[in-house]
Structure 1
Amino acid sequence: MTDRSRMFVYPKQADSFVFDWGRLALTVAPEVNGAERFSGGVVDLQKGQGHTRHNHPGAEEIIFVISGTGEQMVEDENGNPVVQQVGPGCTVYVPESRFHSTTNTGDGPMRLFVVYSPAGPELALRELPDFRLEPAASRN
């Protein structure tokens, strides 16, 4: 059974994956609160920064724009990039294994909520050269 204290998680309570372009606070995942079928968290992108083109083999992703504006690319079924401006309230579906990227094109920070299914693709981020782990306890 899931510990009640981990059923409700704010980004400041979660360990963050920190990169040169921003951060991911993993708020739901097997190792965070026992989620079994998906993982997710809050992504903060600095002005002018973003995720470079990448994919998650075997996993789908949902990106929900909380605040800010940006340019979202998702490849179609033929591998052609489909680019669109996105803003608050937009939900982006990234089909399994498709390449995609997000760039903050706004005047300030951009905040997203991302969900991976199945859980696990976010763990590959630990292998990126600019990865740093920032424990939640260090931000209190």
Structure 2
Amino acid sequence: MIHVIDPFSQAQPAWLGLDDAGFRRKVYKVVDERLHGSEFLTSGLTIFEPGEASSLHNHPDSEEINFIVRGSGEVVTADGTRTPFAAHTFMYIPKGAHHQHVNTGREPLWLVFVYGPHGMLPTN
């Protein structure tokens, strides 16, 4: 069965990073093994306000693709390398690679994530 999903009305949004200044973001997970029965993929939309970031994290057993719908920022690696990205660009993150998304722009950053096989979202 094909599913057309509106993340704002059908997803179960979760706030991440509320306990750590600068790491707050809202995640709308739309697909995983429980949501729509995906066998291999986890996907959703993360919205970062200006100046916000994810924690430095990884998905130990999953490859990840990101698509930037809106906004701009930098992806930071474990060694501190910062690579800028803009709207309408993709990112490929290899399995196990530590990474951090940072909104360096003046508007909200909308980042679509898809990774597989399934894995946990960062806890902060």
TM over 0.5: yes
- Is 1:94 aligned to residue 97 of structure 2? no
Matches within 5 A, 1:44-63: 44-63=47-66
Unaligned runs of 5+ in 2: 19-23
Question: Deviation per CA, 1:82-131, whole angstroms, max 9, x where unpaired?
Answer: 32111111111110101000100110110000011101222xx4xx3x6x
1:133 is aligned to none
Structure 1: 4+ residue segments shifted above 6 A? none
RMSD after superposition = 1.6
Q: Which has the larger radius of gyration?
A: 1
1:68, distance to aligned residue in structure 2 (A): 0.4
AA paired with 2:45?
A: V
Matched-pair contact (CA < 8 Å) for 2:59–2:119: no
Report the alpha carbon displacement of residue 63 of structure 1 after superposing the two structures with TM.
1.2
Query: What is the letter of the counterpart of residue 35 of structure 2?
Result: V
Q: Distance in 2 between the 1:84 and 1:47 partners? A: 17
SS at 2:34 equivalent: helix
Query: Structure 2 matches for 1:36-115, cutoff 5 A?
Result: 36-74=39-77, 80-115=79-114
Partner Cα distance (1:22, 1:87) in 2: 18
Measured after TM superposition, the shift of residue 81 of structure 1 is 4.2
Letter in 1 for 2:101: T
Q: Which has the higher helix share?
A: 1
1:14-29 equivalence runs, <5 A: 14-19=11-16, 20=18, 21-29=24-32
8 Å contact from structure 1 (residues 74, 94) kept in 2: no
**1:33, distance to aligned residue in structure 2 (A):** 0.4
TM-score (normalizing by structure 2): 0.86
In 1, are the aligned partners of 2:13 and 2:28 still within 8 Å (CA)? yes
CA offsets 1:14-45 (integer angstroms, 9 cap, x no match)? 00121231111011111110111111000000
Q: Across the two proteins, how many residue pairs are aligned to each other?
A: 117
Whole-angstrom distance in 2 between the partners of 1:81 and 1:97: 16
Unaligned runs of 5+ in 1: 131-140
Partner of 2:21: none
Matches within 5 A, 1:5-16: 7-12=3-8, 13-16=10-13
The 2-side partners of 1:58 and 1:91 are apart by 20
Percent identity among equivalent residues?
26
